[in-house]
Structure 1
Amino acid sequence: MSRKAFRRLTLDERKRTLLEAALTCVAQEGLKGATVRRIAEEAGVTAGLVRHYFGSKNGLITSAYAYLIGQLTAEADTRARQFTGGANDQLRHFLIANMTMPNLSEEKVSLWATFIGRVRYDTDFADIHREGYRDYLTLLESLIEPVLAAHDLPRSSAECRRHAIALNGLIDGLWMEGSLNSGLYSRAILPDLIIEAGERLLNLPAGSLSGGKQHT
């Protein structure tokens, strides 16, 4: 394995580069194989920077998990907020973002599965999971409420929370199976599937989110 050249980076760039390198190494070699030295080589920095910024390998790995969760949420949120045509458009593009690249990724779902196994016995991972899940539900609620309002449907806080929990479960299931790409179906059908299922779950008229368009 060739050693990457060391680079001079800013503080934020160094931390981000180490986080990205940690994710790459965990994806390629697992948690045990992702040593501090290996991660530093992948990042093109000195091993001492890991201890400087994160204290230990465990500190870096837990931060990398939080970074991964944040990436997935931010990508979908950014895609949704780019569209100002209305609440239906924003929710539609949020759903599509979870069913397309870069979020729809075998590497990302494999990383998620690797990290999620530690949630049961590692309090740091459990805290990250809980906070990430809470933030995702809050974001979903903020997208769901105006859609329900536009269709004059019940939209209390409790109602929006129930819908967000259910829709998140739907997203997770299609995201995991779609990312693993078992070959039983084409990934291209996922955007339309999530939109159609989302309409049914929210009790919206057929075509409300799709606008009559297919996204395959």
Structure 2
Amino acid sequence: MTRRSYQRLGEDVRRNALLDATLDCLAEDGMGGASVRRIAERAGVSAGLIRHYFQSKDDMVGASYAHLMGRLTGRAADAAQGASDTPEQALARFIAANLTRPNLSVRNVSLWATFIGHIRDDVRYAEIHRESYREFLQVLEALIHPVLTAHDRPADPATCQGLAIALNGLIDGLWLEGSLGHGLYDAARLPTIALTAAEGLLRLPDTTLTRHLTR
């Protein structure tokens, strides 16, 4: 399983604490209200220490975007790695982790929306978006391949990539809908809905993935 940017999140605890404080301030105050002073206060450090890690506020905010996306992917990847029984279980755990707390939350979607609005106008955000999307697809492809192989399904790179793109779209849509909390249905249904749909996309027998939700 490929682990790159989200693996690097653990390299510097203090830097990560600053990025967490940045995300907290962005969630509470938006881009305009999340000043360096406010972030420093939230992290309990001096503004000078922030300058030790980041050249500017823009640099820090961009890094916090990568931090957020890496953490979301990392949590789901960790859930998959903890499922050692079968490839089907690993894929099921990965999908379900994206659609349950802590990944499923209005805060995460709100932060994502804040960042996504800058992609068209700022090449830095566009590159972070592209890289995080690439990494998510690579993790999915690596999880899909052994499942297809186990069920004698075509598992060439193009097929795995196409199915990863389709599953990513499914996960993203349910993540957005479920996190917004509109109250039209119980968000606890989302993992089962996603896994049932994934079985259809991968042309797997019924319950191949969904049965792992109860284990």
Per the shorter chain, which TM-score range? Answer: over 0.9
Q: Distance in 1 between matches of 2:87 and 2:151?
A: 11
Deviations along 1:157-191, one digit per CA (max 9) or x if unpaired, are: 00000000010000000001101111010111011
Does the residue aligned with 1:169 lie in a helix, a strand or coil?
helix
The aligned residue for residue 40 of structure 2 is: 40
Q: Distance in 1 between matches of 2:77 and 2:38?
A: 33
The aligned residue for residue 109 of structure 1 is: 109
Deviations along 1:4-45, one digit per CA (max 9) or x if unpaired, are: xxxxxxx92221111000000000000110000000000000
The aligned residue for residue 127 of structure 1 is: 127
Q: Distance in 1 between matches of 2:188 and 2:171?
A: 15
Q: Distance in 2 between matches of 1:172 and 1:13?
A: 29
Structure with the greater alpha carbon radius of gyration:
1
Which sections of structure 1, spanning at least 5 residues, go unmatched?
1-10
Does the residue aligned with 1:17 lie in a helix, a strand or coil?
helix
Letter in 2 for 1:149: T
Q: Distance in 1 between matches of 2:188 and 2:95?
A: 14
Q: Does 1:52 align with 2:15?
A: no
Runs (4 or more) in structure 1 with deviation over 2 Å come to: none
Identity over aligned residues, as a percent?
52
Q: Distance in 2 between matches of 1:143 and 1:13?
A: 29
Which sections of structure 2, spanning at least 5 residues, go unmatched?
1-10
Letter in 1 for 2:43: A
Deviations along 1:114-154, one digit per CA (max 9) or x if unpaired, are: 10111111000001111111111011000000000111011
Does the residue aligned with 2:129 lie in a helix, a strand or coil?
helix
What number of residue pairs does the alignment pair up? 204
Q: Counterparts in 2 of 1:60-79, with a 5 A limit?
A: 60-79=60-79
Letter in 2 for 1:128: I
For residues 101 and 164 of structure 1, do their structure 2 counterparts lie closer, same or farther at Cα, with a shift above 3 Å needed? same
Query: Structure 1 residue 214: deviation in Å?
Result: 5.6
The aligned residue for residue 149 of structure 1 is: 149
| Contact 2:92/2:213 (8 A) holds in 1 | no
Higher relative contact order (CA 8 A, sep 6+): 2
Q: Distance in 2 between matches of 1:13 and 1:76?
A: 21
Structure 2 length normalisation: TM-score?
Answer: 0.93
Does the residue aligned with 1:154 lie in a helix, a strand or coil?
coil
The aligned residue for residue 13 of structure 1 is: 13
